[in-house]
Every structure is written in C-alpha cells, then in structure tokens.
Amino acid sequence: MIYKRYPSDCTLSYFGPNRRLYRTWYDMHKRCKPDARDAFRYFGRGVRVCEEWNDWPTFCRWAWSNGYTDELEIDRIDGSKGYEPQNCRFVNGVQQEANKDKDRVRAIGRAAQRQAHYCPIVCVERAQQFNSQAEAAQELGLVRQSIGDVLNGRYKSTGSYRFLKLKDYNAIYDEVLT
C-alpha cells in the first residue's frame, strides 16, 4: 500500500515538512500583487488569489487533499481566471508548461529563430553566399551569434565582414541594375 505524505498539521514554517508547498503559496500571492515584477501578466490581467486562500492552513489542507506532492506544481486550468479551488490543480512541469501562453509565444519565437539561423545569407565583402549562419561562421572563423547580431542590426559588421540575408542582398542588387 502506498501512503501519501500528509503532514499532521499545516504549521507556517519555512523549514517544516511543507516548505515547498509554503513557497508555492507565497509565490502565488507575490505574483498577484500590483508591485510584482511581472504584474502585467497576473495583476494587470485581473488574476487574484481567492480570499479563502489568504489563510495558509486552509490552502495547505486543500493542496494535500487535491493531490499535491513535492514533484507537482500548481496550475491554473483557465489562465485568465484567478487562483481558486475550482480553477487550480497540481500537475507536473511538462503539463504546466503546455498550459502557459508565454511558452506558446516562445515556441513560435524559437521556430522563427531556428529558421533565421538556416536562411541563406551573403557576405557582402566577399560576395559569397552561405546556406546558414553556421556555415559562414565556420568558413570565415567567426562566431555564429555575431553573424546573427549583424543580420538583426545590432552591429554593422563582425570580423570586418558585413552580412545580409540573401533576399535583401538580391533586392539591393536588383535596384542597382535598374
């Protein structure tokens, strides 16, 4: 028989048996304050902690009776609603990440970034085309990130080389010929 670890009491102690759960409760309240670092994601969208959960022992008892273990994290089922018993559950990190809006945005951003790394580019000084930033970096003895910085406009050149995306290079070349 598997026994669920359930502390005999929900005392408010950072070093007690509930220290991870207490940190969850504390961080949940901290995120929902108007002066929080990421207030625009929580307080600014109307996300609040229900009145009932302002009391630590009440939250602690709810958590343990709703499947909390130290391996799980609190998750709001509907991200537009607040922290309340009907809208919260405990899930593993993978499930929680799948439920976050920012992760969807990051995934799209990562895909676009990967695509940018592999788009054809031209070294202006050599008039040489490369299939990717990595290929150019290897052949010219540069760091791939520095080539990306030039393409994104952060720097004008790297290692005395300027780079353009092939489509931009072709557009400039076509203008010169016409």
Q: Scanning the structure block, which residue is given the tokens 């070349």? A: 173
pLDDT (0 to 100) of residue 115: 62
**Which sign does the torsion angle of CA 163, 166, 168, 173 carry?**
positive
Q: In the predicted model, is pLDDT for residue 157 greater than 90?
A: no
Q: Which of 99, 134, 167 is the last residue of a domain?
A: 99
Tokens of 125: 């000084």
Query: What are the backbone dihedrals phi and psi of residue 163, each rounded to the nearest 5 degrees, phi first?
Result: -130, 150
CATH number at residue 160: 1.10.10
Q: Is residue 9 part of a domain?
A: no
Q: Is 76 inside a domain boundary?
A: yes
Q: Which domain holds residue 29?
A: 19-99
Inside any domain, residue 86: yes
Band (pLDDT 50/70/90 cuts) for residue 148 is confident
Residue 105 domain-assigned (yes or no): no
The whole-number pLDDT of residue 59 equals 93
pLDDT digits (tens, 9 = 90+) for 67-104: 998 888 999 988 889 999 999 999 987 777 777 665 45
Residue 63: pLDDT over 70:
yes
Tokens of 28: 């949940």
Choosing from 99, 126, 152, the residue where a domain stops is 99
| pLDDT at residue number 4 | 45
pLDDT over threshold 50, residue 2: no
In DSSP terms, 8 is beta-bridged to none
Question: What's the domain count of the chain?
Answer: 2
* Token pair listed for 135: 């290929």
